[in-house]
Amino acid sequence: MLTAVTDRGGLRAQRAPHGSPQTPQRPPDEPRSPRRTSNQPLRAQWDPVGSTPRPPRRPRPTRNVRKTTRLGRFVATYGWRAYAVPILAAATVFVVWDAARDGGTATTEDTTVVETEPGIIAEVPPADGRFPAELPSGELPGGGPFTVAGAGTWRIVPGTTEQVGAGVARVFTYTVETEDGVDVTGYGGADAFVRMVDETLADPRSWIGNTDVAFRRVDSGNPDFRISLTSQMTIRQGCGYDIELEGSCFNPGLGRVLLNEARWVRGAVAFHGDLGSYRQYLINHEVGHAIGFAGHEPCGGQDGLAPIMMQQTFGTSNDDISRLDPDGVVRADGLTCRYNSWPYPRA
């Protein structure tokens, strides 16, 4: 006989043992007794359908919460980026506006145009390395200030050097001096002047390119010659002013190579504004006179390098120099050389 039992798996049929009394059946009109509910915690009901009904849920309390806006949802989604992006966008717009308001600088290959205010344009002329065409070759170019008149006395710049050059025939000693009253601060001071003199004479392209010649700087005794930076008016006294142009010279009576400070500051037209090369030429040319090269030379070939003993301060064209000194050794023949600072430029 089958009888119904309650198990963890629900109702199932079980056969009664043979000979056991049958379970009396409940009349249809007899009320059903309540089922036991499980006392086990956190476990499902044995009979969920027939369990005791639960009381109804309490109604949820009404919360007074405002509805989220689009901006709020945007901030919640993107976090700090929601603030950073607008700030960066505003900064970019400001920079572009400020650049457009202040103007800029447009650079071309030949000319730099600086826009200052609307309608006002300042042009920087191209650096072509040439003075104005109307400036005569021997004229003193424009430039920085120089001393017009010094004291007519000189002071030795302290310091000595080792011998430079082989000196097979002669070792020449020299001092470097500046005239009292000449302000040398505008071009690096006395030390810068000394350094240019020493390094020029020690260069293998200078006179030591000839093994017969050597130089050594001293600061006492009786040197073979004194290289002296000299003011404009003192130069005219020591070198003469027959050709009314700024020049330099070697005065054997004074034993001085007189270098014109006005030329040291401003250079010469023939050197196209290359002031360093002109200073090297000035030293080599006048020291050439001091060591025995008394005469001047003309340009020897069209577009060749000018000889170091050519008067390049006055020009690199034979025609220009002949015009200044018609009775000199240079004849007008149409030849023009390129400026040159060295006795032995290919050494």
Q: Is 245 exposed, middle or buried (0-12, 13-18, 19+ CB in 10 A)?
A: middle
Please give the Cα distance from 82 to 220 (Å, whole number): 81
pLDDT at 31 over 70: no
Query: Poorest-confidence range of 123-127, 298-302, 338-342?
Result: 123-127
Span 178-202, average pLDDT: 96
Over the stretch 85-108, which tens digit does the pLDDT of each residue have?
777 777 777 777 776 665 544 444
User: Model-level pTM?
Assistant: 0.65
pLDDT band of 20, cuts 50, 70, 90: very low
User: For the chain, first and last CA: distance in Å?
Assistant: 134
Domains of the chain, by residue range, sit at 154-290
> Is the domain defined by 154-290 classed in CATH 1.10.3470?
no
Instruction: Please name the residues in contact with 291: beta carbons below 8 A apart, sequence gap of 6 or more.
Output: 170, 172, 207, 213
Q: Which of 215, 226, 228, 286 is nearest to 261 (CA)?
A: 228
Consecutive H or E run containing 214? strand 213-217
Over the stretch 264-289, which tens digit does the pLDDT of each residue have?
999 999 998 899 999 999 999 999 99
pLDDT at 223: 98
